[in-house]
Amino acid sequence: MRIDVQTHHMPDGYVKALAERSDYPFFEREGDSWFAQGTTHARLPMAPSILDIGLKIEEMDAHNIDLALISLNIPGPDLAADPKDADELARIGNDGIAEAVAKHPDRFKGFANLGFGDIDATCRELERCIDELGFIALQVFAFIGGKRPLDDPAFAPVWALLAERNVPLVLHPGPSPAGAVYADYWLGPLVGFLFDESIAALRLIFSGIMECHPRLKVLLPHGGATLPLLIGRVDRLSSNRPGPRDNISHAPSHYFERIHTDAVAHSTTALSLALQEMGADRLMFASDAPWVPVEAHVKIVGQLGFSEPDADKIWSGTAKKFFEI
């Protein structure tokens, strides 16, 4: 069995809601193509298979993907400046993901996204996604609204609810405070996203959130971003100065050992490092479709020549255990 733990879908209702907006986030059409505008510095073309769930199934079938865990992509609902708009966009997006899952329950499971407008409304929407829509995880962008870090105290009830309900937290890059720096040369998607994800994960660690919630499960995608390479540096340099470890009882690597990742590493070298540092018990196959052709990561995983037990874990076993599917 093959499970894809990172692939994206923009439902019709969400596209329509964003197309009717004049402020960020919004969709605009140019000829036959849709473009998503998250912020001044975040404009992305929408590939046909992110809009058409039938095309996504065709891609899955072509590469023997049995089950895909689908989520919204940039722009997320949290980018809306008005709190009510953000929460309403989240509801629309979640309903659209749920509709795709309901039409193809044997092929898809859904992740929630939240608006983070009103925190009480945000928690109610998360509970609705878990209890009524049957979603198996919450996806959040590295900086809420493109600005606020995940350890902002206002968001604490969300992390507590995830830990209480044993629902994984899936990190994903998006607009960030460094957007202007990333604007040239497409530096955000090329490298900046990995630093933003890494910072988000480290803020969950250094703030004490992961210590406070030992049951909180976290997926840091893209081969663990920069942390398989840098976690030793983080341990060493945080150990000999006041400040970084004030909220935690152990080295950062202690908490990193609870974090899982996916195989969207883009090279056998990077994926080998993720496997070496994190192990097959924390590594899951993903495609990041449609931003990357599905066959790209199928090929990279196949080239590494895993042992049969490790291959079974990476293709599906680790995902089944992590998401309890």
Q: Known catalytic residues?
A: 288
Distance CA(140)–CA(209), nearest Å, equals: 15
Q: Residue 80 and residue 62: Cα distance in Å, rounded?
A: 37
Burial track 39-55 (b if 16+ CB lie within 10 A, e otherwise) = bebbebebbebbbebee
Structure tokens at 253: 């690597």
Long-range Cβ contacts of 187-192 (<8 Å, 24+ apart):
188/41, 188/42, 189/291
Q: Bridge-partner residues for 44, per DSSP?
A: 36
140 strand-pairing partners: 171
What are 69's strand-pairing partners? 109
| Contacts of 133 by beta carbon, 8 Å cutoff, 6+ apart | 94, 95, 97, 98, 101, 110, 112
Tokens standing for 31? 């000829």
**What is the spatial distance between Cα 119 and Cα 139, in angstroms, rounded to a whole number?**
16
Q: Which residues pair with 36 in a beta bridge?
A: 27, 44
* Tokens 């329950």 sit on residue: 105
